[in-house]
Every structure is written in C-alpha cells, then in structure tokens.
Amino acid sequence: MDVVGVAGTSAVASDKEFSMRETDAAAIRASLADGEAFFRVAERHFEEISRYLRRRVSREIADELAADVFTTAFARRTSYDLGRDSALPWLYGIASNMLRNRLRHELRELEMLARVAVDPLAQSADPLDLSRARSHIRASLEMRVEAEEAFRG
C-alpha cells in the first residue's frame, strides 16, 4: 500500500527500491531466518562477480564459478560479519579462492598428463593407442589418489 505524500509522490518505496537501499548485511541477517532473503544479495552482485571471473577464465567456467560463489556464500552466511554493510569484498574473496582452487586443480591435471606424456587433445586413429593411453592415465590417477589418501592419513 503506497501512501501519497506532497505533490502526489509516494511515501512508501517499492520492494525493488527498498532492496536497493537495504544493505547486504541486513539482507544476510534476514536470510538467517528466511533463506530467500539471500537472493537480494545475489541479485545485487551476481553480474559483478561474474564479470570479475570472466576477465580471468572462459565465460562457461566463469558462470559455473559465479553460481558456486553464491552457493558457498549462502552456506557460509552465518559466518558473515554483519558489521560490514557490503558483502562485495567477501564475495570477491570467495570468488578468488574458488578460481585459485580451480586453476590449481587444472594445473595438477596438466602436470599429471605431462608426466605420462599423453596429449589430452591428440586424437589417434589407432584405437589401441587410445586404449593404452586411457589405461595409463587411469593407473596414474589411481596412484595419485592413493598417494593423496596416504598423505592425509
């Protein structure tokens, strides 16, 4: 219900206008009781986080990571410092960490492929070559998994 004020202007803001004035901290606080309130933070910052990621990786990977950023932020919203009005620095931090982890993972995969001397983009006409390469990669992956499990104890 809008209240008409002086010169016919509305004294009550629309939901969209309110959400633009509302701080991220207020939206996150509200999301602790009603998870859907977190959408206001996502709507406000998704494009900016997505652009940040697109400057660093392909659009497809950036879109995937951007969605993961907000999923992670939602899951961790109880740890957000409600004394900070803007969640943007927090979201950039989550995005940077996810990007770094993704790049590390890809680097490890490329290093492993280099060790087994298999070009993942090469296509062989000989199905036996591909079969040998796959089994070699599988064996290398299994050794890597076993080594990581042994390291973790």
DSSP element (H, E) containing 43: helix 39-54
d(C-alpha 153, C-alpha 148), whole Å: 9
- Classify 23 as helix, strand or coil: coil
Q: What average pLDDT does range 84-108 have in this prediction? A: 94
DSSP assignment, residue 13? -
The model's pLDDT over 114-127, given as tens digits with 9 standing for 90+, comes to: 777 656 556 655 55
Q: Tell me how crowded residue 133 is: count the other CB atoms within 10 A of its CB.
A: 18
The model's pLDDT over 1-27, given as tens digits with 9 standing for 90+, comes to: 333 344 444 433 344 444 457 999 999
**Is-contact 91 38, C-beta < 8 A?**
no
Domains of the chain, CATH where assigned:
6-106 (1.10.1740.10), 116-153 (no CATH)
**Which pLDDT belongs to residue 116?**
73
Full DSSP string of 49-114: HHHHHHTTS-HHHHHHHHHHHHHHHHHTGGGS-TT-S--HHHHHHHHHHHHHHHHHHHHHHHHHHH
**Which pLDDT belongs to residue 20?**
56
**Is-contact 137 145, C-beta < 8 A?**
no
Q: Is the pLDDT of residue 148 over 70?
A: no
**Is-contact 37 30, C-beta < 8 A?**
yes
**Is-contact 118 132, C-beta < 8 A?**
no
**Which pLDDT belongs to residue 109?**
83
98-125 burial, b at 16+ Cβ within 10 Å, e below that, comes to bbeebeeeeeeeeeebeeeebeeeeeee
